[in-house]
Structure 1
């Protein structure tokens, strides 16, 4: 499939937080292609909670909903271990979800951390195991649902500028880091 230069995409990342915080912030950047930012969204989520999926859906279903061709997530965990259910996000929006990961996740390490720190770990592990397997693409790893590997790669290439990740995710990350400097 061919994609226009100004394809509508949204990238969602979380802001840094400290271990004493009860909440974390997620940032969504809606862009056309890799140059035009049309909206930046902010939602609070419960650190290590279960509400990131619901908050991501609220961001996606806002005023640019009909123009979004792909949802990019920086990993599947936000605010610690608040896991975004990418299957549910796709099922409720019918918009392809593409997860960008720096390197292939160590599932054994993740499961061990969940068992050690969370009473509700079986539910979180079950969710992670329901996701598609991560696959390498150039110098990142991706998980995707609602789209082919080839089309996911085309959209990534179309929406990045000078980075290995889509510009909408890079901007969400930069905005999130900015919250570290608030006095």
Structure 2
């Protein structure tokens, strides 16, 4: 259960970046309700692979923190159709998981079938996510949520608390900025480790 009244509530925001390479860089940042960042870790996922769930769990395990109260994802399908199993993330971490996206769409079943015609595992993983729910934030913009281990009302409330302006909650927005900034321009360059 999230304790929204506490100033010290912490969310792990996770987002990715990739530019025409075999692996994407995924960043996780720990952000307090007052928008102070007090943790950061990185992992990688295969572009077009099926290891995004492990990448998210890798960030969680690396941080090894017991003060994070929820995980907020910048989408459940990243790195060119690499599906994050939010049920597994919830079960393995014991934390509520909120996935936020920003554009309406009829779904990705046709795209997955087109690009991965014999990959039933990927298609099944996507279908298992269920439909997104349309929510309006207090900023007046519409977002699309999937939530696991948390009610839709509480997921929306968490997004409102952490959205300063526009539609992207700060933990996800900052994680995306950091992932883009740390992603090497050339595939052979090393990525700095958060330590």
TM-score by length of 2: 0.83
Q: Which residue of 2 aligns with 1:144?
A: 147
Alpha-carbon shift at residue 167 of structure 1 (Å): 0.8
Structure 2 vs 1, CA of residues 134 and 34 (structure 1 numbering), >3 Å: closer, same or farther?
A: farther
Does 1:172 find its partner at 2:170? Answer: no
CA 1:120–1:6 in 2, change beyond 3 Å: closer, same or farther? farther
1:158 aligns to 2:161 (yes or no) = yes
For the 8 Å contact 2:97–2:148, the answer to whether it is kept is yes
SS of residue in 2 equivalent to 1:39: strand
Query: Number of aligned pairs?
Result: 179
User: Which of 8, 12, 17 is the equivalent residue of 2:10?
Assistant: 8
TM-score (norm 1): 0.88
For 1:62-95, what per-residue CA distance to the aligned partner results, in whole angstroms no more than 9, with x for missing partners? 3353111111111111211111111111111110
Kindly tell me: are residues 180 and 43 of structure 1, through their superposed partners in 2, closer, same or farther at Cα, counting changes over 3 Å? closer
SS at match of 1:28: strand
Q: Deviations over 1:81-133 (max 9, x none)?
A: 111111111111110110001023322xx222212222553111111111242
* Unmatched segments (≥5 aa) in structure 1: none
| Mapping of residues 70-109 of structure 1, within 5 Å | 70-107=70-107
Q: Deviations over 1:3-45 (max 9, x none)?
A: 1233110111111321xx2111111111111411112211111
SS of match in other structure, 1:62: helix
Report which of the two has the higher share of helix. Answer: 1
Q: Quick one: which of 118, 122, 126 aligns to 2:124?
A: 126
RMSD (Å), alpha carbons:
2.0
